[in-house]
Every structure is written in C-alpha cells, then in structure tokens.
Amino acid sequence: MKLALAGYGKMGRMLEQLAPEYGFDVALILDVHNNAGGEGIHKANFQGIDAAIEFSTPEAAVANATRLAAIQVPVVIGTTGWLQHLDAVRIAVESNDSAAVWSPNYSVGVNVFSRLLREAARLLANQPEYGAWAWEIHHDTKKDAPSGTMLKLVEDMKHAGYSRTIDISSNRAGRVPGTHEVGFDSAADTITLRHTARSREGFARGALQAARWIAGKKGFYEFSETLFQ
C-alpha cells in the first residue's frame, strides 16, 4: 500500500522508518517547503496513494486535512492544537464522502488509560469529598499547552459525570516524550493514575495501525473507535 506523509518532522521521520513493517511504501512526503498552505495536496500528486498521515503544525493541519478530504484520500490526523476546528474538518470529510481518523494521542496505552480514567471519574462523580487534578509534562519544543491529550482526558472525565473542578497544569522541559497524570484526593486518601510514554514510537505505531484500518473506508472516526470495536 502507498502512503503519503504530511509533515516531515520528528513524527514524520519515525513514521517513514516504521512504515514498511505495516506494509506501507512511503510514496510522497510533504513538508513546509512543498506544501505551504496545503498547495502540495492535489489529485495529480496523490495518484495511487491509499492513505495519508498528517503530523505537521496546528496552523497547517486543518488546511491539510480539508484538502485531503476534497480529493478523497483517507487521512490519519495526528497533529494536536486544532480541535476547535474539529466540526469543520468532520463536515469536510463527510460532505466529500471521504475518510479520516483523528486523535490527540495514538498510543494504545493512553487510550486504555483514558478508559480507566473515565471509570474512576464515573465512580467518584457522587463522592464530593474527592477533588481532582490533571497534570502533564512534555519536551520543550511542544507548541500547544495544555496538551491535546490532556484536554481530551478532562473532557472525557466530564462526560463520565465528574462535574466538579479539575485543576489542570502543564510543564514543558527537556526531552520528555509525554507524561499524563490524573489524581483524586480526599482527606482520607489519594488515587493517582499516570501514563508515561517512553518514546514517540508508540504514537507512530498507533498512527500506522490507524492508516491501515482507514484505507478503503469512508467516515470520520476517533482512534479509540478503531481500537475497541
């Protein structure tokens, strides 16, 4: 299968390295030099491409995803920091009868962590003595803070029924690939749930798994829908 990469930074390079293990031949690489404003995304460039994976910048991601939808190339969107435009991208994908998977976090472990967290939030929803915090740390080149993953975890806790304040904080330092922690604290005890990524490899492997899943499909999916069917 032929794969296009939109974004050739740290994630794009790792995807290129791992793609053959998932049966993909990287046939097209778009970066800021050949794709400013999404100009590299047109039918001629994408002849024979089965799927695209998008890990670029928050500023570029929406234009890239919308243009890929217009030429009906299934896309795995990995970039974070654009979620305020989620509905617009969903409409572009659905109205063009195209396909996309999105997630602020393609680690299988984080998606399991999120399920556990939702259950804890549901169980503590009616225990007012427990307050909650959410904290994350990433490397100092990460552009968005709080992380997209953190915002989604907190959103998921609210949907699970936890309506009290969740105090959120972020740090950016060094090379940390990504740690997310959520805690519940009462006078009697503390519950701490933490996910620690060891490297970017888990994100790249999840995105490649998603690309294999979305190739040949239609529709708009969140990554966990492709994992826990």
Ligand X SMILES: NC(=O)c1ccc[n+]([C@@H]2O[C@H](COP(=O)([O-])OP(=O)(O)OC[C@H]3O[C@@H](n4cnc5c(N)ncnc54)[C@H](OP(=O)(O)O)[C@@H]3O)[C@@H](O)[C@H]2O)c1
**Residues assigned a catalytic role:** 138, 142
Closer residue to ligand X (CB): 8 or 220: 8
The answer to whether residue 191 forms part of the interface with ligand X (CB under 6 A) is no
- Gyration radius of the chain's alpha carbons: 18
Selected range binding ligand X among 10-18, 83-91, 164-172, 185-193, rule: CB under 6 A: 10-18
SS3 222: strand
65, 66, 104, 120: which one binds ligand X (CB under 6 A):
104
Contact status, residue 154 vs residue 87, Cβ threshold 8 Å:
no
At 117 the three-state DSSP class reads: helix
Residue 124 Cβ vs ligand X, minimum distance, rounded to whole Å: 27
Sheet strands side by side (includes 75-77): 25-30, 2-6, 51-54, 75-77, 99-102, 219-222
Size of interface with ligand X, in residues (CB under 6 A): 29
Chain residues 50-89 in contact with ligand X, contact rule CB under 6 A: 55-58, 60, 64, 78-81
d(CA 65, CA 53): 10
Question: Which listed residue (65, 93, 100, 105) binds ligand X by CB under 6 A?
Answer: 105
Distance of CA 9 to the CA centre of its chain: 16
Q: Minimum Å distance from CB 155 to ligand X?
A: 15
Q: Which one of 203, 213, 220, 221 is in contact with ligand X (CB under 6 A)? A: 203
Looking at beta carbons only, is 108 or 125 nearer to ligand X? 108
Cα separation, 222 vs 18, in Å, equals 22
Q: How far is the CB of 54 from ligand X (least distance, A)?
A: 8
94, 66 in Cβ contact below 8 A? no
Site of interaction with ligand X (CB under 6 A): 6-12, 30-32, 35-36, 55-58, 60, 64, 78-81, 103-106, 142, 200, 203
